[in-house]
């Protein structure tokens, strides 16, 4: 199991490597926004590299319409699941 623990130093470097080497984005640390990933005309701001990776993965899987994917019934079903 991979777990983000405390200050996230255990996941920041591997996450940045995936963003840059697998997805081809350049990442930048910007004090006001914290982090931004840029590739061509796409840019994603986030508060940490793990959030950047999540946004990039959603964009790659779902495209420009990623905000419209899924519905509230799907979300409700996940929220009602019990972990065993």
Instruction: Decide if 1 is inside a domain.
Output: no
Instruction: Decide if 27 is inside a domain.
Output: yes
Is residue 6 very low, low, confident or very high in pLDDT (cuts 50, 70, 90)? low
Backbone phi, then psi, for 79, in 5-degree steps?
-65, -25
Instruction: Provide the token pair at 23.
Output: 């997805």
Task: For residue 30, give its domain range.
Answer: 9-80
Q: Which residue has the higher pLDDT, 71 or 81?
A: 81
Q: What is the pLDDT of residues 7-60, one digit of tens each?
A: 556 889 999 999 999 999 999 999 877 999 999 999 999 999 999 999 999 999
Q: What is the number of domains present in the chain?
A: 1
Instruction: Decide if 36 is inside a domain.
Output: yes
pTM above 0.75, yes or no: yes
Instruction: Decide if 18 is inside a domain.
Output: yes
Distances (CA, A) of 40 to 4, 16, 43, 48, 56: 30, 18, 8, 21, 13
Q: Which residue has the higher pLDDT, 70 or 46?
A: 46
Q: Which residue has the higher pLDDT, 72 or 29?
A: 29
Show the CA angle centred on residue 52, arms to residues 65 and 9, nearest 5°. Answer: 160
């Amino acid at each position: 199991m991979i777990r983000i623990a405390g200050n996230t130093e255990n996941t920041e470097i591997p996450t940045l490597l995936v963003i840059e080497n697998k997805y081809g984005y350049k990442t930048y640390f910007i004090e006001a926004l914290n982090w931004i990933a840029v590739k061509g005309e796409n840019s994603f701001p986030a508060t940490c590299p793990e959030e950047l990776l999540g946004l990039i993965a959603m964009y790659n899987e779902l495209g420009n319409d990623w905000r419209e994917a899924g519905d509230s019934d799907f979300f409700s079903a996940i929220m009602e699941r019990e972990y065993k």
